[in-house]
């Protein structure tokens, strides 16, 4: 589904990713762990197409398309979802309005009919219920006045509504208490654990992986993947730290 | 007909104006005069969409209330000038948006005189400017001697879509009383790139993303307007042309 080869990227002319390669197949959940400054968030932004993150070498193939040639909204329409570490607050724009317009823009790009207001609200209500987020919060301006945990749950509601084939979740576990962590973990499983979907979880900690069991764990250090393994690698990292395992 | 000589850019109130366009429009028709009697109420929406200079002299009697909403969007040169006099305890509210692109010059000029005690005035003005357009707000609040307990506010924001566009904002206070509250705030900015990327990452094309952010930026000024839906619709259509 996703094939990253020898990816090099810079931010403000500073090299961050230095030859990263990774392949993700449908039905798989991958976790990328690594110390601060390793390039984890840069990887998610490069894949999402954020301005200012420049690819200098390498390629990214997403379901047979050159992902790097697409604009951010085209990547979304192609089935990519980026869960933000810091979801943005947008005063004056209601969640429901923005999500419905986003979903219908994606559907239009894929040659599908737009979803009616009624059908959309039904879908939104179902996904909000899954993440135990009050429907009233979805009618409020995007993320404005939301707690850290509510913002992350809102990200997952958006993921549920947009129904991507590949989700890249950048530290979706940060800022969550134990209960919210379980709700978010269950949400990821319910929405994304399917034979035709895949997830790339970016995280510092083992704890999210207790709820969302990865098939593969990779260690990212200094802009490259230095070690890959199964779920046991995450526990090893938790016990011994990055320095020892990634050495 | 006004017999006054054509102003020049040396006149502060015309400093940023499109003099060529003004010359074509000169002499201006006499200002429209509106008097709201004591205890009366006025609600009015003004849409300037063809290129004109519109001058209004508004007097609010004791305890009168006026809510004006202005949408300034059309023509090469569009200017709305409001000269407001408030008597005791009167309440004046202005919600205005000017949206311009290309080489448009749009202006909202207000003089609000608190002539007697206890009057309130609230002005909210939002400008969205692209291309080489110029948007100007000159707003003077004058508090006369003895007009104690005046409460006035000017809240002025402009959004530049291109670095080549210009926004001028000048709130001005002239106060001859000592027990007054006069607040003013001014900000000129650009669309938040983080918010834009967030919306696009969810599948919204760039023009739609910009439009929805700009709509949020101007929407509030028309709250409670006479004909609010029409004003919002016209504003949205104009924003659609700019992004």
Cα–Cα dist B131/B160, whole Å: 9
- Mean pLDDT throughout A92-111? 94
What tens digit of pLDDT does each residue of A67-100 get? 999 999 999 999 999 999 999 999 889 999 999 9
Long-range (24+ apart) CB contacts under 8 A made by A231-238 are A234/A31, A234/A33, A234/A206, A234/A209, A235/A206, A237/A33, A237/A206, A238/A205, A238/A206
Eight-class DSSP state of B220: G
The answer to whether A99 contacts chain B (CB < 8 Å) is yes
3-state secondary structure of A220: strand
Report the percent of chain B where pLDDT is more than 90.
95
What tens digit of pLDDT does each residue of A221-233 get? 999 999 999 999 9
**Chain B residues closer than 8 Å to A79 by CB:** none
What tens digit of pLDDT does each residue of B128-151 get? 999 999 999 999 999 999 999 999
Long-range (24+ apart) CB contacts under 8 A made by B12-16 are B12/B138, B13/B109, B13/B138, B16/B105, B16/B107, B16/B134, B16/B136, B16/B166, B16/B168
What tens digit of pLDDT does each residue of B186-196 get? 999 999 999 99
- Nearest-CB residue to B197 (from A51, A101, A162): A51
What tens digit of pLDDT does each residue of A189-246 get? 999 999 999 999 999 888 899 999 999 999 999 999 999 999 999 888 888 888 877 6
Task: Classify residue A143 by burial, with Cβ atoms within 10 Å: 0-12, 13-18, 19+.
Answer: buried
pLDDT band at A184 (very low <50, low <70, confident <90, very high): very high
- Shortest distance between the Cα of B126 and any Cα of chain A, in A, equals 14
Cα–Cα dist A174/A39, whole Å: 17
Q: Are A166 and A62 in contact (CB under 8 A)?
A: yes
Interface test with B, best of A92, A161, A165 (most B CBs within 10 A): A92
**Which residues are registered as beta bridge partners of A169?**
A83, A201
In chain A, which ranges are E strands?
2-11, 14-24, 29-33, 53-62, 65-66, 80-83, 90-94, 141-142, 166-170, 198-203, 216-221, 224-229
Residue given tokens 């006479």 in the structure block: B226
Backbone angles phi, psi at A80, to 5 degrees: -100, 135
The model's pTM is: 0.90
Inter-chain CB proximity A102 and B203 less than 8 Å = yes
Question: Residue A161: which H helix or E strand, with range?
Answer: helix A148-162
- Per-residue buried b or exposed e for B50-81, using 16+ beta carbons within 10 Å of the residue's own CB: ebbbbbbbbbbbbbbbbbbbbbbbbbebbbbb
Task: Classify residue B19 by burial, with Cβ atoms within 10 Å: 0-12, 13-18, 19+.
Answer: middle
Q: Angle A134-A139-A144 (CA atoms, 0-180°, nearest 5)? A: 90
Inter-chain CB proximity A101 and B208 less than 8 Å = yes
Q: Are A224 and A32 in contact (CB under 8 A)?
A: no
- Return the structure tokens found at A35: 């110390």
Interface test with A, best of B126, B195, B203, B239 (most A CBs within 10 A): B203
Inter-chain CB proximity B217 and A51 less than 8 Å = no
């Amino acid at each position: 589904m996703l094939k990253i080869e020898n990816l090099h990227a810079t931010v403000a002319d500073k090299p961050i990713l230095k030859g990263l390669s990774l392949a993700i197949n449908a039905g798989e959940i991958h976790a990328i762990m690594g110390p601060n400054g390793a390039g984890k968030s840069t990887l998610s932004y490069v894949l999402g197409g954020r301005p200012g993150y420049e690819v200098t070498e390498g390629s990214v193939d997403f379901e047979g398309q050159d992902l790097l040639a697409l604009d951010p909204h085209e990547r979304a329409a192609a089935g990519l979802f980026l869960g933000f570490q810091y979801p943005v607050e947008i005063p004056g724009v209601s969640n429901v309005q923005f999500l419905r317009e986003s979903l219908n823009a994606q559907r239009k790009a894929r040659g599908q009919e737009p979803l009616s207001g009624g059908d959309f609200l039904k879908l939104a209500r179902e996904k909000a219920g899954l993440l135990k987020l009050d429907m009233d919060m979805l009618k409020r301006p995007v993320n404005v006045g939301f707690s850290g945990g509510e913002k992350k749950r809102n990200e997952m509601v958006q993921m549920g509504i947009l129904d991507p084939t590949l989700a890249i979740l950048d530290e979706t576990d940060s800022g969550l208490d134990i209960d919210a962590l379980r709700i978010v973990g269950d949400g990821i499983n319910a929405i994304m654990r399917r034979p035709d979907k895949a997830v790339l979880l970016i995280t510092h900690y083992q704890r999210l992986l207790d709820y969302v069991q990865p098939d593969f764990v990779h260690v990212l250090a200094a802009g490259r993947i230095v070690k890959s393994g199964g779920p046991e690698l995450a526990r090893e990292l938790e016990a011994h730290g990055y320095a020892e395992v990634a050495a | 007909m006004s017999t006054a000589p054509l102003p020049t850019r040396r006149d502060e109130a015309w400093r940023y104006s499109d003099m060529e366009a003004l010359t074509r429009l000169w002499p201006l028709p006499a200002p429209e005069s509106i008097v709201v009697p004591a205890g009366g109420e006025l609600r009015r929406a003004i849409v300037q969409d063809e290129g004109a200079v519109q001058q209004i002299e508004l007097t609010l009697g004791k305890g009168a209330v006026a809510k004006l909403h202005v949408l300034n969007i059309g023509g090469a040169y569009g200017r709305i000038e409001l000269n407001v006099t408030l008597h005791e305890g009167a309440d004046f509210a202005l919600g205005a948006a000017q949206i311009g692109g290309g080489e448009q010059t749009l202006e909202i000029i207000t003089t609000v005189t608190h002539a007697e005690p206890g009057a309130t005035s609230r002005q909210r003005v939002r400008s969205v400017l692209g291309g080489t357009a110029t948007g100007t707000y000159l707003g003077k609040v004058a508090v006369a001697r003895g007009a104690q307990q005046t409460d006035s506010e000017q809240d002025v924001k402009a959004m530049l879509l291109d670095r080549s566009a210009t926004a001028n904002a000048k709130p001005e206070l002239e106060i001859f009383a000592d027990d007054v509250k006069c607040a003013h705030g001014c900000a000129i900015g650009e669309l938040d790139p983080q918010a834009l990327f967030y919306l696009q990452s969810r599948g919204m094309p760039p023009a739609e993303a910009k439009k929805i952010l700009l709509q949020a930026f101007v929407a509030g000024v028309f709250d409670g307007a006479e004909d609010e839906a029409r004003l919002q619709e016209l504003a949205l259509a104009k924003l659609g042309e700019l992004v």
